[in-house]
Structure 1
Amino acid sequence: MDETTVQATPESYRQTRRLLMIAADKLTQRMGTLATESGKASEAGKAWSELDRQRRLVIEMIASCSYIIDWLESGRMPGNRRGIERRAGYQREIPTDPSAMAAVLEGRSGCALSDGEGESDAPSLALERALGGLTERERDCFRLTQAEGFTLVEAAEVLKISKSSAGTYLLRARRKIEANLQEGGGSSVG
C-alpha cells in the first residue's frame, strides 16, 4: 500500500477542517432524515444516538484543527497573550547544573575552587562564594558564556540585551569573581 506524507501546515489543517465540516453536515442531515422517517422507535433511537455520538466526535476534531491552525499561525499557544520572548526574566529562566559551572571555573578558567580541606562539597561552597557578589544579570552572562558555551552575541540574544551590555556584564562578573576568589585564597579567572 502506497502512503503519502502530508506536511503539518496551516493550509493542510484548513483542508482537513473543511473535510470534517462536510462530514459533520452529512451526519446532521442523516440525523434529520432519520428523525423524520417512520420506523421502529427503538432502532431509530439507537441509530440516531450513534450518529449524534459520531457527529460530536467530528466536531471535537474540527475544534482541534482550529486550535492547531491558530498555534501554527501565531507561533504560540492559542489563548496566551504573550509569547515566551515577552515573559518576565523569572519565567524564561534557563536552569543550569551547578557542577557544570564548577567544572568551568576549575578546568577551563584555571581556577582552583577547593579550599584544600578535602571536603566533598568544597567546590560547591567555593563556587557559591565566587559567584556570591554577582547581580542576576552578571551571573546570567557569565553562566551562558562560560558554562553553557554561548558566544557573547548569542548570550546577548538570549538575555534580550545588546552585545556591548553583555560584554560589560561579563567583564564585571569576571572582576567580581576574581576579587571573591582572591579573598578566599583562590586564583584568578582567565
Structure 2
Amino acid sequence: MPNWADQLIQEYSDGKRQLLKASKNLDKKNPVEREYRTMINSMAEDMDFVIEWLETGRQPGTYRGVDKRSVYQIRSLENMDLIPDITEQLDDVHEKKLMMTREEKVILSDILSSFSLRERQCYILHTVHGLSMQRIADELCLSKATVQMYISRAREKVEKRVG
C-alpha cells in the first residue's frame, strides 16, 4: 500500500531511531565508545538528510530544484490505480463515463498526498476497499480508535479541500 518513498522514509526513520538508541547506551568516558558515538551520530545526521530529501523532493540546504513538498509521493499517487474498476457493477456502461479527467486526478493526488502515510493507508482501505475499521486495525497492528482517528483526520482534509 505505501509507495516507495513512504517505505524508504519509514525504513530510514526506523534505522535512525535504532542508531540513536545505540548511541545513548555508549559510555561517554570511554574513548573508544566516544568515537563510536561520534560515528553513530554522524550516520544519524546523514539519515536525517535523506529523510528530508525524500519528504521535500529537493536537496536539503539548497534553494534550487523541486519546490513541491512530497513530490515523490505525489508522482507515485498520480501513477497509482487507486480506484477499483466498477464497470461490472453498472448496467449500462456505455451511457456512463467512468474516466476521471486529468484535473480530477490531480485534485485526488493532491488530497491523498496531504495525508500522512497512516491516514492514507486507513482512508484508502476503508473508503476504497470497504474494509471495516476493526479489520484495518488488525491488518496494521493498530487499535480501532487509532484507525478511527486517522480516517477522521483524512476526512477533514478531504472536506477542507473539496467543501
For this structure pair, what is the TM-score category when the shorter chain's length is used for normalisation? Answer: 0.3 to 0.5
Larger Rg: 1
TM (norm. structure 1) is: 0.35
TM (norm. structure 2) is: 0.40
